[in-house]
Structure 1
Amino acid sequence: MAKDAGINAQKEALKMALGDSEARFATAESCTGGALGAVFASDSELGPHLERGFIAYSLDAKEAMLGVPREESEPCAGVSPAVAEAMARGALERSEADYGVAITGFCGPQEQDEEVGLVYLVLVPKTGPVDLRECHFGDVGREKVLEQAVAEALELISDQLKPGSTDS
C-alpha cells in the first residue's frame, strides 16, 4: 500500500517534470511485465506520452523483439546493466519515441545464485547521455519488487526531464 503511494507520488512528479513537453516513451519491460506502461496508460495526462511498450520476459523475447544478443543475455539470465541498456536501445530504435526506458531484474523467488530484488533500470534518450540505475530492493516479495521498480523508473524519467538535469 505504501509503495502504491510511492508510485502515485512519482506519477505526479513525472507530470510536473513533463510540463508542456511532448516527449514520448517506449518501454521495454521484463520483470515488471508491462506495469510501467500500464501506469502511463492508466493516467489521462501521461497516456499521450506512451508511444509503445514491449514486454520481453524471456531471453527469446528480448532477442526477437528488442535485438538483445543471446551472448549478452544468457550468461546473466537476462539481468545486467548491458542487457537493460540493450533493451532500452532496442525499444527506442523500434519506435517513434524520444526515450527508451527498460526494466529487468529478479523479483523472486530465488533460483540458483541470483540476487532477489536486483533490478536494473535504464533510460536512453535519442540524444544525450544514458541514465542507469542499479537497485537492490531485497527479498521483499515479487509484488513489492515490481512496485518499487516501477516507482524508481518513474523517478528516473522525472530526474532526466528536470530542467538543467545532468545526472545521467
Structure 2
Amino acid sequence: MSPEAAEVLRLLTVRGETLAVAESLTGGLVAAEITATPGASRAFRGSVTAYATELKHRLLGVDATLLAERGAVDPQVASQMAAGVRKALGADWGIATTGVAGPDPQDGQPVGTVFVAVDGPAEAMFPAIGSGKVVRLRLNGDRAEIRMESVRSVLALLLRELAGEHTGNERAQDTEQNGGT
C-alpha cells in the first residue's frame, strides 16, 4: 500500500467522490496499488486494462482516427482514456496511463515515454484547462521500474488535483523523471 494511494482514497472518501482507472503500460498495477489500501471500495469504482490498442477505442471511447494516426502513446490518447473510463464506470474522477515500458520503442516513441492523465469534475480542475490534464514523463530504468514509476506518477498527479495544487500551464507539462538508479 503506497502513501499516495492511501491519501487519494482518504481525500476521495472525505469528498464523497469516486475513482476509475484506465491502464495500458501499467497492466493493472494502478488498480492493484489502490485496492491494496483497506477501505478502497468506498471510493474505487473499478478499472479497465486496455493493453491492446483497439480496446482503447472500443472500451474507452478513444478516437479511432487519433489512434490510427498517432498510435497509443500520445497525450490526447491518455486524456481520452481518463475521460472514457470516468464515463464508462460512472466515476467522478478518471486516471489513465499509456506509454512505452520497453524493451523496444513503440509508435515512434522511445522506451520511457509515458503519458499520465487525470479527468475530473470541471469545477474541481484548474479552470484554464477544463476538466482534464496530461503529463508527459521521460522515465529511465528497466521495464519494471518504468511501470512502477508510472503508477506513482499518476497517483501523485491525481493527489495534486484533489489537494488543489495548480501551478502555471499544466496541460502540456513536460517532466524529466528517473524511474531507476
TM band (smaller chain):
0.7 to 0.9
Alpha-carbon distance change, 9 to 43 in structure 1, aligned in 2, over 3 angstroms: closer
1:24 matches 2:18? yes
Shift of 1:8: 2.1
Residue 161 of structure 1: aligned partner:
162
CA contact (8 A) 2:67 2:77 kept: yes
Equivalent position to 1:9, from 3, 7, 10: 3
Shift of 1:132: 1.5
Residue 92 of structure 2: aligned partner:
98
Gaps of 5+ in 1: 1-6
TM-score (norm 2): 0.80
Equivalent position to 1:136, from 138, 145, 169: 138
Q: What is the SS of the residue equivalent to 2:45? A: strand
Residue 115 of structure 2: aligned partner:
120
Letter in 2 for 1:165: E
Equivalent position to 1:54, from 8, 23, 48: 48
Alpha-carbon distance change, 15 to 65 in structure 1, aligned in 2, over 3 angstroms: closer
Give structure 1 regions of 4+ aligned residues with deviation exceeding 3 angstroms.
15-19, 164-168
Equivalent position to 1:86, from 74, 80, 89: 80
User: Size of the alignment, in residue pairs?
Assistant: 160
Higher RCO (C-alpha 8 Å, min separation 6): 1
CA contact (8 A) 2:160 2:166 kept: no
* Alpha-carbon distance between aligned partners in 1 of 2:20 and 2:10, rounded to the nearest angstrom: 19
Identify which range, 56-65 or 11-20, moves more after superposition. Answer: 11-20
Shift of 1:21: 2.3
* Alpha-carbon distance between aligned partners in 1 of 2:23 and 2:115, rounded to the nearest angstrom: 11
Gaps of 5+ in 2: 171-181
Letter in 1 for 2:73: V
* Alpha-carbon distance between aligned partners in 1 of 2:12 and 2:44, rounded to the nearest angstrom: 12
Equivalent position to 1:66, from 36, 60, 67: 60
